[in-house]
Chain A
Amino acid sequence: GAVVSQHPSRVICKSGTSVKIECRSLDFQATTMFWYRQFPKKSLMLMATSNEGSKATYEQGVEKDKFLINHASLTLSTLTVTSAHPEDSSFYICSVTGGNTEAFFGQGTRLTVV
């Protein structure tokens, strides 16, 4: 299966700053990647679909100006949490899927905004 690397695994930032999370597909050219958010003891909530070379598609209720997604190459998608606030603290995880096949997840990034 595909190997997905996500970085950083943990980050603590001050309120008002921006944080960039990287998702790399190491052995698979991913035209599409997905970003999820998981609150403690909750399920994974699909935030957006990252499309290589074009704009990301955001799910209803997700602020696109708050969560900037860039998918500049077939192996890298980035999620930037802009002007982070404590309520943005969460576990963010990306995935790569090849159409109808299984999704391969990155290790996730635990963001804490203080």
Chain B
Amino acid sequence: GQQVMQIPQYQHVQEGEDFTTYCNSSTTLSNIQWYKQRPGGHPVFLIQLVKSGEVKKQKRLTFQFGEAKKNSSLHITATQTTDVGTYFCAGNFNKFYFGSGTKLNVKP
């Protein structure tokens, strides 16, 4: 199937520090979505990006879609302990394929 690469695999930060996770696809995506999964839970939708170069913000979270629609990033400003979880991107190739995820741990 299609592949969506995501880095880093893990990120440990001190509360208040910033965090960024990156997704890359070898082929152009029609759109990309981001999800958060808490330990023991199921993925929860965060946002969808559709347009080339699109930037969307949700409070401390900033999502970007690359100009070529092959890469995307999620940036969290001033992390909090409630941000702990695994963040997945999902690329749409007429069906969604998930990136490998970035597990975020925030130390209080």
- Which A residues have a C-beta under 8 Å from some C-beta of B? 1, 34, 36, 41-46, 49, 59-60, 93, 95, 97, 100-108
Contacts and interface: CB of A to CB of B under 8 A. Distances in A.
Contacts of A103: 33, 43, 45, 90, 96
B80 interface: no
A49 B28 CA distance: 21
Given A34-B96, A43-B100, A102 B45 contact: yes
Interface of B: 1, 6, 30-31, 33, 42-45, 48, 50, 88, 90, 92, 95-101, 103
Contacts, number: 50
A46 B96 contact: yes
A108 B92 contact: no
Most buried by A among B43, B101, B103: B43
Contacts of A36: 98
B92 A100 contact: yes
Given A44-B88, A46-B1, A59-B1, A105 B42 contact: yes
Given A95-B96, A104-B45, 16 more contacts: A1-B45, A34-B96, A42-B100, A43-B88, A44-B43, A44-B98, A45-B98, A49-B95, A60-B1, A100-B48, A100-B50, A100-B92, A102-B33, A103-B33, A103-B45, A106-B42
6 nearest interchain CB pairs?
A102-B45, A44-B98, A105-B42, A43-B100, A43-B101, A43-B98
Contacts of B43: 44, 93, 103, 105
Contacts of A49: 95
B27 to A, nearest CB: 16
B95 A34 contact: yes
Contacts of A107: 42
A64 to B, nearest CB: 15
A102 B100 contact: no
B101 A102 contact: no
